[in-house]
């Protein structure tokens, strides 16, 4: 049951990409989306999925204290939560590594704190379990073609290349190509020989919602202390490991799992990252780019694959967007205010005019607020104002 699944919510800190919306007194997690703090949305999605324990990880103690104060005043109804502060420079993989001693469930949901979604995460958990996956990744579609700003004949910029099998159920390639590498994306033979045809897509988005096998991901993070990014390093490495011979997973490291004494603190306690449960005897790893040796036997999800990496698509009618830029902040606020999704995402009702005006707002004489519009808390509007979408 999802109730036994723990979740890690990467809430971040002051987020330079959102400056000047964020400040020393307003972290990213508390930015308003239709008068609702951003943190509410991923927590609500996890609560709907039946998750009952969430670790909210912030970058630094200042953000942790503000998030802690908010959650104490507005606690989720059915979630046991804990705020954990980590080094702002440790990266997403470092954050997961730092709270490893707290993680005990068979699988772990790791979710960016800026995700606004109504996707069915419980179905994603079930798919992960049925396939015995090492990782399951939530994928959405780009709003416009990635090649819209690219000259004809040139590779698209700023996209992640997603390789899928014919059934669009297995992740075979996950590669973010830097601008200097455009046009030089290597096509690997192992996925093609093992799984059959692979479709390489640039119209899909990694929504930064993952379900990991706890044993696999924590062992990897301990064995490779240099990994700092889940999206840029851990996910691609797990995808590549699908094509290694079983029992040959490591890359020449000692496999001892000693990663030093990385520190993580909550607002009341101090925690030290430690090695997860032993994975048993380990063989020396090969270099991750040695694609000449792999298991040629054809497998299916959860059977002969060394570590199945699955995908789940955002379905038609579902909403999933990240509020990671100032442009996205405006777009997400406008889209959440739409009557078709406002109540489901925010938990509040629109007025009979399909708008939302909080009691703290004051409207002047003959001032009108159109449908699909939200007025901010404490807003003062003069006479004869008109707010339209």
Which domains are assigned to the chain? 5-148+157-246+305-346 (3.90.550.10), 353-388 (no CATH)
- Mean pLDDT, the chain, rounded, equals 80
pLDDT band at 150 (very low <50, low <70, confident <90, very high): low
Instruction: Provide mean pLDDT across the span 260-273.
Output: 36
Closest CA to 264 of 64, 14, 24: 64
Least confident residue range of 130-134, 166-170, 264-268, 379-383: 264-268
> What is d(CA 386, CA 375) in angstroms, rounded to the nearest whole number?
12
Q: Is the pLDDT of residue 108 over 70?
A: yes
Residue 264 has pLDDT above 50, yes or no: no
> With 80 as the cut, is the pLDDT of residue 127 above it?
yes
Separation of alpha carbons 110 and 72, rounded Å: 22
Q: For residues 276 and 218, what is the distance between their CA atoms, to the nearest angstrom?
A: 6
Residues of the chain above pLDDT 70, percent: 75
CA distance 203 to 343: 29
**pLDDT band at residue 16, thresholds of 50, 70 and 90?**
confident
Contact of 346 with 329, CB cutoff 8 Å: no
Let me know: does 38 contact 31? Beta carbons within 8 Å. yes
Q: Does residue 279 register a pLDDT over 90?
A: no
User: What's the average model confidence in pLDDT over 78-93?
Assistant: 93
Over 80: is that where the pLDDT of 234 sits? yes
pLDDT > 90? residue 306 = no
Which residue reads 């204290």 in tokens? 65
Q: Is the pLDDT of residue 59 over 80?
A: yes
């Amino acid at each position: 049951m999802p109730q036994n699944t723990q979740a890690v919510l990467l809430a971040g800190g002051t987020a330079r990409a959102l400056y000047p919306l964020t400040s020393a007194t307003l972290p990213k997690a508390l930015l308003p989306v239709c008068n609702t703090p951003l943190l509410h949305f991923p927590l609500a999605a996890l609560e709907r999925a039946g998750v009952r324990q969430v670790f909210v990880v912030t970058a630094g103690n200042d953000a942790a204290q503000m998030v802690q104060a908010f959650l104490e005043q507005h606690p989720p109804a059915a979630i046991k939560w804990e705020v954990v502060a980590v080094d702002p420079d440790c990266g997403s993989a470092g954050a997961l590594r730092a709270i490893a001693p707290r993680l005990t469930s068979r699988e772990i949901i790791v979710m960016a704190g800026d995700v606004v979604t109504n996707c069915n995460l419980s179905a994603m958990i079930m798919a992960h379990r049925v396939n015995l996956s090492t990782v399951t990744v939530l994928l959405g579609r780009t709003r416009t073609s990635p090649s819209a700003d690219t000259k004809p004949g040139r590779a698209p910029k700023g996209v992640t290349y997603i390789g899928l099998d014919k059934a669009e159920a297995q992740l075979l390639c996950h590669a973010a190509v830097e601008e200097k590498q455009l046009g030089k994306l290597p096509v690997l033979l192992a996925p093609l020989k093992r799984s059959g045809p692979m479709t390489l897509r640039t119209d899909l988005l990694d929504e930064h919602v993952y379900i990991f096998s706890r044993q696999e991901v924590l062992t990897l993070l301990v064995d490779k202390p240099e990994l700092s990014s889940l999206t840029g390093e851990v996910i691609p490495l797990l995808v590549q490991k699908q094509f290694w011979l079983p029992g040959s997973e490591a890359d020449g490291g000692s496999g001892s799992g000693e990663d030093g004494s990385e520190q993580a603190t909550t607002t009341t306690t101090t925690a030290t990252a430690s090695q997860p449960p032993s994975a048993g005897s380990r063989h020396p790893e090969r270099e991750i780019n040695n694609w000449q040796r792999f298991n040629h036997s054809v497998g299916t999800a959860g059977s002969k694959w060394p570590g199945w990496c699955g995908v789940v698509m955002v379905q038609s009618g579902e909403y999933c967007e990240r509020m990671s830029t100032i442009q996205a902040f405006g777009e997400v606020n406008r889209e959440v205010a739409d009557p078709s999704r406002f109540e489901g995402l925010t938990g509040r009702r629109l007025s009979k005019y399909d708008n939302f005006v909080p009691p703290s707002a004051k409207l002047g004489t003959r001032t009108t607020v159109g449908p699909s519009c939200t007025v901010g808390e404490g807003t003062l509007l003069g006479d004869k104002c008109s707010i339209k979408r």
